[in-house]
Amino acid sequence: MKNYKAMIVDDEAEVREGIVARLDWEALGFEVVAEAENGLEAIEKAEANEVELLLTDIKMPFMDGLTMIAEFRTLHPSAKVVILSGFDDADYARQAIKLGVTEYALKPVNAEELAEVISRMKAQLDREYGEKLDIAALREKYERALPVMKERFLSELLWRRMSAAEIAAGVAAYDLEIDAAPGKLVLVFDIAARGAREQPIEGDLVPISISQLVEETLSGRCRTALCPGLSQIVAITAWEGADPVSRAVLLGNDIAARCKRILDVRVTCGVSKRYDSLTGTPDAYTEARNALEYRGEPGLGRAIYIGDAETGGSQGNILDERNERLLLNAVRAGSFAQMAEVAEGLALALESLGADSWQRQAYLVSLCNSFNRIVMQYGLSGEAELTERIASRMGTVIEPEGVRAWLTEVCTALSGCVTRRRESAPKLLAEKAARFIAERYGESSLSAEDVCAHLHVSRSYFFEVFKKEMGRSFVQYLTDVRMERALDLLRDPEMKTITVAYAVGYEEPNYFSHVFKRRFGVTPARFRRQETGAV
């Protein structure tokens, strides 16, 4: 296993050098990757390096050790921290415990004692890494996560058109039986408002109770996989024998009646048409949800079969949520084959509307609305050619054979714009951060949190993107901006060095001088004399 990485922080150079020289770090399983003489410098180096062990003093200039540790913890939350201090102070110890400090050792500490401390840190790191790799622990975590993963698979089965191979793998992984019987139906149980009388159970427990009732009623009559929710419970079912629809409707009515009688909750059950392969589950789910729209009285508790309900005209004039999601997935994926498949499905839906020009036009309007939602989601409204392509079909009746080419054309254009926007997003974010820093570098309190809040991104994502795009960490970049501005200001003989320090964001003039000299090799005062000849 590779050595762990350590950083040593102490304002006394001889202490740092002594710790490095007196220990056989290789034998202890560590490599010293950074040293720092104060807390501010330590944070800068911690941001630029992977650190798994921090050895630090408490009393240091510019930023004390405890403040530095709190900041360090946000960068390396799992690292081990050892305080080496000459102060035997109970208050320090209490604060150190709150910050997750692993050990608190008093100076002077000899090499043997320090080696023992570091060996204990290695043992802890080894144990933690070993636990992460422990197969039994992974298996236990997997089994605990299994219900969530199963629920996610069933949710995807309802919403996404999955391949037969994907479905077979999921059915096998989660030990489902819904592919073992030929006649398949999707049942959606919609939970309506409750009655006025006192309820026998708490409101939050109602969906759980209904799920149990559904599972008990369907058990032994069909094979079932439930997707429970707060307002709807979905059952993917598989039935043996003929006419599963009639049996499902009867059981749905029974469940609705029992929910009203026992729980005083009105439940309406939408029943899909029969289908033979689980690849058709998304269509069946849409049918079952559509069936719920035919309840006469709001909250009427009964089962409604979509085949009985749709005795009038087609309901396919509006692009449903599932097909819109397929459309968005195709655009995101950027696969021409996937986009062509989605375009074909949408074109077939248009063909199914027959000669009814009004319904065809309504369907095309819903398509354009879906495209426009994608445009707004990705901020593509400035792409004139794209928006013109989408708008070109508004107000026109297009035949099915022409819609394929138009859909593929728009999807391809959308996908290209989304891909370019996704690829340019990190660069744009880094540029926005740089502009924000240019405006606020003079504020001593400016931090990465301020930038992240301004950009509405997480700290970890910001650090990763900013360093990749700018070639420097946030702290390094901010320091560079401040130093470059300081050079300009120091060329003005009328401006005092202390004023320059405050102007570029340093509350501590001494620390400003320290950073300036480390960067340019001379103090601010000497630089001014060299540049202006001032005494």
161 and 62 part of one domain: no
Q: Domain for residue 284, yes or no?
A: yes
Considering Cα of 511, then 512, then 518, then 523, what sign does the dihedral take? negative
Residue-level length of the chain? 535
Looking up tokens 């968005």, which residue turns up?
Answer: 328
> Are residues 260 and 398 both part of a single domain?
no
63-67, 416-420, 427-431, range with greatest mean pLDDT: 427-431
Whether 271 and 176 map to the same domain: the answer is yes
- At 105 the pLDDT is 73
Do 5 and 53 meet the contact criterion of CB atoms below 8 Å apart?
Answer: yes
Residue 428 lies in a domain: no
CA-CA distance, 408 to 257, in Å (whole number)?
48
Output the CA–CA distances (angstroms, integers) from residue 267 to 191, 194, 208, in the order listed.
Answer: 5, 10, 13
Answer with the residue of higher pLDDT: 240 or 92: 240
Tens of pLDDT along 396-428? 545 656 677 777 777 777 777 777 776 677 888
Domain hosting residue 411, numbered range: 321-422
Q: Is residue 436 part of a domain?
A: no
Across the strands, what pairs with 82?
Answer: 55, 103
Task: Convert 60-127 into a string of H (helix), E (strand) and C (coil).
Answer: CCCCCHHHHHHHHHHHCCCCEEEEEECCCCHHHHHHHHHCCCCEEEECCCCHHHHHHHHHHHHHHHHH
Residues 525-533: contacts with CB under 8 Å, at least 24 apart? 525/497, 527/487, 527/490, 528/490, 528/491, 528/493, 528/497, 531/490, 531/491, 532/491, 532/493
Give the pLDDT mean for 46-53: 87
Q: What is the pLDDT of residue 397?
A: 47
The rounded distance, in Å, linking the Cα atoms of 187 and 288 is 6
**Token duo for residue 277:** 């392969």
Kind and range of the H or E element at 368?
Answer: helix 357-377
**Predicted local distance difference test score (pLDDT) of residue 315:** 42
pLDDT value of residue 400: 58
Mean pLDDT of 478-493: 90
Task: Please identify which residue in the block is written with the tokens 């909750």.
Answer: 265
The tens digit of pLDDT for each residue in 121-131 reads 999 888 888 77
* Co-location of 276 and 174 in the same domain: yes
Contact indicator for 201, 263 with CB cutoff of 8 Å = yes
For residue 156, the tally of other CB atoms under 10 A from its CB is 16
Confidence of residue 502 (pLDDT cuts 50, 70, 90): very high
- Report whether 284 contacts 272 (CB < 8 A): yes
- Per-residue confidence band for 314, with pLDDT thresholds at 50, 70 and 90: very low
Q: What is the pLDDT of residues 202-231, one digit of tens each?
A: 556 788 889 999 999 999 899 999 988 878
Confidence of residue 40 (pLDDT cuts 50, 70, 90): confident
Contact 343, 389 (CB under 8 A): no
User: Both 338 and 379 in a single domain?
Assistant: yes
How many angstroms separate the CA atoms of 73 and 263, rounded?
50
Please report, rounded to a whole number, the percentage of residues in the chain having pLDDT higher than 90. 18
pLDDT for position 174:
87
The domain boundary residue, chosen from 394, 422, 450: 422
Is residue 126 situated within a structural domain? yes
Structure tokens at 261: 């009688």
* DSSP 8-state assignment for residue 443: -
How far is Cα 522 from Cα 532, in angstroms, rounded to an integer?
15
Report whether pLDDT(312) > 50: no
Residue 200 DSSP code:
S
Q: How many domains does the chain have?
A: 4
pLDDT of residue 356: 60
Residue 436 CA to residue 451 CA, distance in Å, equals 7
Angle 254-258-263 (CA atoms, 0-180°, nearest 5)? 155
Q: How far apart are the C-alpha atoms of 94 and 518, rounded to whole Å? A: 35
Q: pLDDT band for 300, please (50, 70, 90 cuts).
A: low
Query: Of 8-22, 44-58, 197-211, where does mean pLDDT reach its minimum?
Result: 197-211
Report the pLDDT value the prediction gives residue 298, as an integer from 0 to 100.
47
Structure tokens at 135: 């197969």
290 domain-assigned: yes
Provide the β-strand partners of residue 223: 238
The answer to whether residues 302 and 327 belong to one domain is no
In this structure, are 52 and 112 located in the same domain?
yes
Q: Is 188 helix (H, G, I), strand (E, B) or coil?
A: strand
Task: Could you list the beta-strand ranges (E) of 427-516.
Answer: none
Burial of 31 (0-12, 13-18, 19+ CB in 10 A): middle
DSSP 3-state of 358? helix
Same domain? For 166 and 297 the reply is yes
Q: Which residue type does 264 have?
A: D
Same domain flag for 296 and 343: no
Rounded Cα–Cα distance for residues 66 and 54 (Å): 12
CATH of the domain at 93: 3.40.50.2300
Q: Do residues 236 and 202 both lie within one domain?
A: yes
> Are residue 155 and residue 122 in the same domain, yes or no?
no
Query: Which residue, chain included where needed, has tokens 């530095």?
Result: 68
Give the whole-angstrom CA distance, residue 106 versus residue 431. 46
Mean local confidence (pLDDT), 326-333: 67
Instruction: Name the residue type at position 65.
Output: G
Cα 384–chain centre separation:
31
Task: At 74, list the tokens.
Answer: 């946000």
User: What was the pLDDT predicted at 142?
Assistant: 63
pLDDT at 494 over 60: yes
Half-sphere exposure in the Cβ direction for 158 (13 Å, CA)? 25
Question: Does residue 275 form part of some domain?
Answer: yes
Tell how strand 4-9 and strand 53-56 pair up.
parallel
Rounded distance between C-alpha atoms, residue 352 and residue 346, angstroms? 10
CA–CA gap between residue 59 and residue 37 (Å, rounded) = 11
pLDDT for residue 188: 95
Q: Is residue 430 part of a domain?
A: no
Same domain, yes or no: 274 and 364: no
Instruction: Give domain status of residue 95, yes or no.
Output: yes
Q: Which CATH number goes with the domain that contains 461?
A: 1.10.10.60
